[in-house]
Structure 1
Amino acid sequence: MADIQDFKSTPKYETFSYLPPMTPEKIRRQIAYLVSQGWNPGIEHVEPARASAYYWYMWKLPMFGEQSVDVIIAELEACHRAHPGNHVRLIGYDNYSQSQGTSFVVFRGK
């Protein structure tokens, strides 16, 4: 329980923000879960100062039907390289419910 963060220490974005940072393997497993649910991955980014008050910018179009975890990770890293100071998050769009099935920040900006 000592690893759980207090809200006052850092701003929180999405569900996993209250847990310790995920390792690359845990991120890979979350992406594999997103793909196994049939959700379409989408990548968004935003400046840290605007993260809680504005819409996030979309990185390309959602990756409709993408099944490769490695391709999704490569796109996340490309977005992070292009915008190194921004937060980068991954969203899983659920076509059936027409909503987000999951969303979590993969890279935090400075």
Structure 2
Amino acid sequence: MAVEAYKSQLRYETFSYLPQMTPEQVRRQIAYAIAQGWNPAVEHSERGTPASVSFWYMWKLPMFGEQSVDAVMAELEACHREFPDHLVRFVAYDNYAQSQGLAFVVYR
């Protein structure tokens, strides 16, 4: 049996090993995060740089108490329009655990 070398690829957060999500799948993940009471936020980072693995710029402030999936989707799209060459991710902050409840890249 031949041993194959692992081919490293940059991976970003939850779901990065899966194919790109459809807009409906993104909507369902955002709806889940909102249903958990987590605060949505949008972040972006330069593509293909070492900083994109660990450093993300916040797009506006987190949307504390936001209940509308459409509002979150609109902010994701606005960030992508402003920075078309950047990675754009959705982050959901859990107030109680004082951590991220969920984070995934929406625009690769």
Query: What CA RMSD, in Å, does the superposition of the two structures yield over aligned residues?
Result: 1.3
Aligned with 2:16: secondary structure? helix
Structure 2: tracts of 5 or more residues without a match: 1-5
Q: Distance in 2 between the 1:94 and 1:19 partners?
A: 24
- Distance in 1, matches of 2:87 and 2:105, equals 7
Query: In percent, how many aligned pairs have the same letter?
Result: 65
> Which structure has the greater CA radius of gyration?
2
2:19 matched residue in structure 1: 20
Question: What TM-score does the superposition give when structure 1 sets the normalisation length?
Answer: 0.87
* CA distance in 2: counterparts of 1:88 and 1:60, whole angstroms: 13
Give the number of equivalent residue pairs. Answer: 101
Distance in 1 between residues matched to 2:84 and 2:8, nearest whole Å: 22
Counterpart for residue 83 of structure 1: 83
Deviations 1:61-89 (A, max 9, x none): 00000000000000000000000000000
Cα deviation, residue 9, structure 1: 6.5
Matched, 1:34 2:33: yes
- The amino acid across from 1:40 in the alignment is N
Write the mapping of 1:1-110 to structure 2, written as runs, cut at 5 A.
8=7, 10-48=9-47, 49=49, 50-52=51-53, 54-108=54-108
**Structure 1 gaps, min length 5:** 1-6
